[in-house]
């Protein structure tokens, strides 16, 4: 097979056969397909898309590009959650121990930051000692004992996604419905999950800006996930402002601790509870979302979720004393304040630009080899619809010695739009979808 011909075929909008897709993906992993050829192919997919059957085939090829975990020795339904990516989305770090405290088994395989969005593994790296590289045996043992584990992709677990994810991150090819589906579902199916709740984000900080595209992504995730044998539902949630207050790895872990102590920003808590309630219903641990919600709120308020969090962190080598001694989490030494230039209402936030601002401080990657600074980031104190006074602090910028500070300030000044008038607070959850949704 001729690689440039396959790229051309996709560029012209034709569907590739299973054999052709296998040739390209296998070749990329073996080195026969050069990175520049794969990046051209990804850009062709970005513009031309994949047909539904082609996307399902790509997902299966990626899923079986390495080992798949067999969790059949663990009784019950193994249920997981995955987000399509957002700014300030630290939900997984609360959710995994929360549903485990309710008796669920959550085998979570997470990724690194992608584009302007944060990555769960990068947030976990901010916890001293945390190890995400468990062997399959360790993963299974921990799920049996603790009920949750969050691991990353090792070289032999869905290596196709590991390589493609990193390449999409730096070639502006993330925002493709089919590539997102293949990336997420290949990992979820290979992790041994039987059920999956998708948090499909839409808005200025999501990969799908419009509700229509986000809905199309949710439907395709449900269709392909179902074809792979999982029970899948999705919540469409808004990402027109960061989730919670913090953006940046250590800062987000601190917000996680607040939520697990029964406090924290209400949007982070509410979305976590809502996704968790869906998970408990999938796992048949609750007969309705309303019952499940109540149960999870109780577990957050009575400290059970926090106890499970400490158990989980310790099981993966992390220091559980970060809960009692937050100084164990390193924050950047320097602070700067972004103040409102005038009195008015916050009309909108360009959330992508807020994510990019955190990245230029060092919280995310601009090129594949960038090393993150977990200690930097943002606290966004105000929400869309809030009225603010002139000079009021809108954002606290945590930086290290001014690195990226000027660029971050410029991005933030443009991202937060102040003006006259009233704006209704943004709804958090827009819709629930499952395989029966038309």
Distance of alpha carbon 370 from alpha carbon 106, whole angstroms = 30
Q: Is 184 a binder of ligand URA (CB under 6 A)?
A: yes
- How many beta carbons lie within 10 A of that of residue 219, not counting itself? 17
The residue with its CB nearest to ligand URA is: 183
Q: Is 114 a binder of ligand URA (CB under 6 A)?
A: yes
State the nearest-atom distance from the C-beta of 271 to ligand URA, in Å. 16
Judged by beta carbon, residue 109 or residue 281, the one nearer ligand URA is: 109
Query: Catalytic residue at 83?
Result: no
Q: Is 84 a binder of ligand URA (CB under 6 A)?
A: yes
Q: Is 180 a binder of ligand URA (CB under 6 A)?
A: yes
* Only segment of 49-57, 177-185, 348-356, 424-432 that touches ligand URA (CB under 6 A): 177-185
Task: Map the footprint of ligand URA across residues 227-286, applying CB under 6 A.
Answer: none
Beta partners for 416? 349
- Determine contact, residues 232/226, Cβ cutoff 8 Å: yes
Beta partners for 380? 395
Out of 22, 42, 55, 85, the only residue in the binding site for ligand URA (CB under 6 A) is 85
Distance of alpha carbon 312 from alpha carbon 309, whole angstroms = 5
Q: Is 63 a binder of ligand URA (CB under 6 A)?
A: no
Distance of alpha carbon 227 from alpha carbon 60, whole angstroms = 10
Task: Map the footprint of ligand URA across residues 321-380, applying CB under 6 A.
Answer: none
- Determine contact, residues 121/153, Cβ cutoff 8 Å: no
Lookup: tokens for 400: 């290290």
Query: Catalytic residue at 82?
Result: yes
3-state secondary structure 321-373: HHCCCHHHCCCCCEEEEEECCCCEEEEEECHHHHHHHHHHHHHCCCCCCCCCC
Query: Catalytic residue at 187?
Result: yes
Nearest alpha-carbon partner for 185 in 58, 285, 89:
58
Distance of alpha carbon 305 from alpha carbon 285, whole angstroms = 16
State the nearest-atom distance from the C-beta of 328 to ligand URA, in Å. 29
* Only segment of 1-9, 70-78, 175-183, 395-403 that touches ligand URA (CB under 6 A): 175-183
Interacting residues toward ligand URA by CB under 6 A: 84-85, 111, 114, 174, 179-180, 183-184
Q: List the catalytic residues.
A: 82, 161, 168, 183, 187
């Amino acid at each position: 097979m001729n690689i440039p011909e396959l790229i051309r075929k996709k560029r012209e909008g034709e569907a590739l056969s299973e054999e052709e897709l296998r040739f390209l993906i296998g070749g990329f992993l073996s080195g026969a397909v050069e990175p520049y050829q794969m990046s051209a192919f990804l850009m062709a997919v970005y513009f031309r898309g994949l047909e539904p059957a082609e996307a399902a085939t790509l997902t299966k090829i990626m899923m079986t590009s390495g080992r798949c975990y067999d969790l059949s020795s663990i009784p019950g339904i193994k249920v997981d959650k995955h987000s399509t990516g957002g700014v300030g989305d630290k939900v997984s770090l609360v959710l995994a121990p929360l549903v485990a405290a309710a008796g669920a088994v959550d085998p979570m395989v997470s990724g690194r930051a992608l584009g302007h969005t944060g990555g769960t593994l990068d947030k976990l790296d901010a916890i001293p000692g945390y190890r995400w590289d468990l062997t399959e045996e360790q993963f299974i043992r921990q799920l049996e004992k603790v009920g949750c584990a969050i691991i990353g992709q090792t070289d032999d677990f869905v290596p196709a996604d590991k390589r493609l994810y990193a390449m999409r991150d730096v070639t502006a090819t993330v925002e493709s419905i089919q590539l997102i589906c293949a990336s997420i579902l290949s990992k979820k199916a290979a992790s041994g999950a039987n059920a999956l709740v998708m948090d499909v984000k839409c808005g200025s900080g999501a990969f799908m800006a419009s509700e229509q595209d986000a809905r199309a992504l949710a439907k395709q995730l449900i269709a392909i996930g179902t074809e792979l044998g999982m029970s899948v539902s999705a919540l469409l949630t808004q990402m027109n402002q960061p989730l919670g207050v913090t953006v940046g790895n250590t800062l987000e872990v601190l917000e996680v601790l607040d939520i697990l102590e029964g406090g924290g920003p209400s949007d982070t808590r509410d979305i976590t509870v809502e996704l968790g309630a869906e998970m408990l219903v999938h796992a048949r641990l609750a007969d309705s979302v309303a019952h499940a919600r109540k149960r999870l709120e109780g577990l957050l308020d009575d400290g059970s979720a926090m106890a499970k969090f400490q158990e989980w962190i310790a099981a993966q080598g992390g220091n559980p004393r970060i809960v009692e001694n937050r100084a164990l989490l390193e924050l950047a030494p320097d602070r700067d304040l972004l103040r409102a230039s005038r009195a008015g209402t916050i009309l909108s936030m360009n959330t992508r630009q807020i994510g990019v601002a955190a990245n230029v401080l060092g919280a995310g990657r601009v090129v594949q080899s960038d090393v993150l600074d977990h200690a930097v980031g943002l606290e966004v104190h105000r929400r869309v619809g809030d009225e603010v006074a002139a000079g009021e602090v809108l954002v606290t910028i945590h930086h290290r010695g001014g690195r990226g500070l000027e660029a971050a300030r410029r991005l933030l000044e443009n991202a937060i739009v102040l003006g006259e008038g009233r704006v209704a607070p943004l709804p958090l959850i827009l819709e629930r979808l499952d395989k029966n949704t038309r």
